[in-house]
């Protein structure tokens, strides 16, 4: 099992830590950054995924963020809202000094949800990049994610892996008595609770059967999920509304998005394969009301 971290950028400093229905996000790449004079000044040598030797003339100063692809990967194109695995170096564009970087260790991947990193320049720079690519980004102060920033930033990011944007497994026949699930074009789930009392025990149905890696009790997993309360039929929480999947530790339930997810729900995911989608009924416990969950299994670490 690899130990995953999530990338969080705040207050001009970079920290690596495990914290805490719309249109198709991949319809076009019009919002992705274009290359320009500033980003074309950045060079980085070394194999993709390894620590690069970065060079650029200082100061780099740009009022418009730009991105140049230094190495073009042959993998899938990255979508907005998709969780990707990266190796990165962030530098001050004025001095050239390193602000932060990943471990560059395969056993400690850094995960970032494209579009929700906290740095608009990075989000736009990665959108529509392909897995296996190395991208140099010149980040304008307005796209730094920090108020009051006056200097430009530089990021060199290797996109070394990606996780599914939505469950893509084979559709299974529905089972009578479970909540009804409908899907938007993006994969976002809508849940209709059936009539009758709240569930008194946990049970689940596989809506889509994936064929990827298997979830284990000690896995770190990338999930999209929606939870609706049984009694009031109201939405309790949906990662789809937040714009990014969640990274969850199965053993503890620790979650980037929700502090701790209920173990009773997570146990239903053990044995599921990446690409699967499950609907899970669960009685109330100390942390959540009785309700129905729809969970997409997008990746296993």
Q: What pLDDT shows up at residue 91?
A: 98
Residue 141 in this model has a pLDDT that exceeds 80? yes
**pLDDT at position 12, please?**
31
Strand pairing partners for 86?
110, 159
pTM: 0.86
170-300 and 5-162 share a CATH fold: yes
* Domain-wise residue ranges, the chain: 5-162, 170-300
Q: Which two tokens stand for residue 2?
A: 């690899």
Q: Which CATH class is domain 5-162?
A: alpha beta
238, 263 in Cβ contact below 8 A?
Answer: no
Buried b / exposed e along 125-156 (16+ C-beta atoms within 10 A): bbbbbbbbbbbbbbbbbebbbeeeeeebbbbb
pLDDT single digits (tens) 220-249 = 999 999 999 999 999 999 999 999 999 999
What kind of architecture, by CATH, is found in domain 170-300?
A: Roll (3.10)
How high is the pLDDT of residue 2? 55
Q: What is the pLDDT of residues 55-104, one digit of tens each?
A: 999 999 999 999 999 999 999 999 889 999 999 999 999 999 999 999 99
Q: Which residues contact 195 (CB under 8 A, 6 or more apart)?
A: none
Looking at residue 219, its pLDDT comes to: 96
CB 280 within 8 A of CB 199: no
Non-local CB neighbours of 70 within 8 Å, separated by 6+ positions:
42, 43, 44, 134, 135, 136, 156
């Amino acid at each position: 099992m690899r130990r995953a971290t999530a990338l969080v950028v705040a207050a001009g400093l970079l920290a690596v830590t495990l914290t805490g229905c719309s249109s198709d996000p991949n319809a076009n790449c019009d919002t992705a950054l274009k290359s320009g004079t500033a980003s074309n000044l950045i060079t980085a040598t070394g194999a993709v995924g390894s620590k690069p030797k970065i060079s650029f003339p200082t100061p780099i100063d740009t009022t418009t963020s730009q991105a140049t692809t230094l190495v073009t990967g042959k993998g899938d194109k990255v979508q907005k809202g998709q969780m990707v695995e990266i190796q990165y170096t962030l530098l001050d564009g004025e001095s050239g000094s390193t602000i932060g970087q990943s471990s560059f260790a395969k056993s400690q991947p850094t995960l970032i949800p494209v579009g929700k990193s906290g740095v608009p320049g990075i989000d736009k720079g990665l959108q529509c990049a392909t897995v296996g690519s190395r991208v140099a980004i010149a980040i304008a102060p307005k796209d730094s994610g920090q108020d009051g920033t006056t200097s430009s930033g530089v990021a060199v990011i290797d996109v070394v892996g990606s996780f599914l944007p939505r469950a893509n497994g084979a559709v299974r026949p529905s089972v009578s008595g479970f909540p009804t699930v409908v899907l938007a074009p993006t994969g976002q789930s809508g849940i209709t609770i059936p009539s009758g009392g709240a569930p008194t025990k946990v049970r689940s149905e596989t809506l889509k059967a994936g064929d990827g890696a298997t979830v284990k009790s000690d896995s770190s997993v990338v999930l999209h999920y929606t939870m609706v309360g049984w009694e009031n039929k109201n939405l309790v929480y949906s990662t789809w509304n937040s714009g990014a999947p969640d990274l969850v530790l199965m053993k503890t339930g620790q979650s980037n998005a929700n502090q701790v997810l209920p173990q009773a729900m997570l146990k239903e995911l053990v044995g599921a394969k990446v690409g699967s989608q499950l609907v899970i009924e669960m009685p109330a416990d100390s942390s959540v009301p009785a309700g129905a969950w729809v969970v997409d299994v997008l990746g296993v670490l």
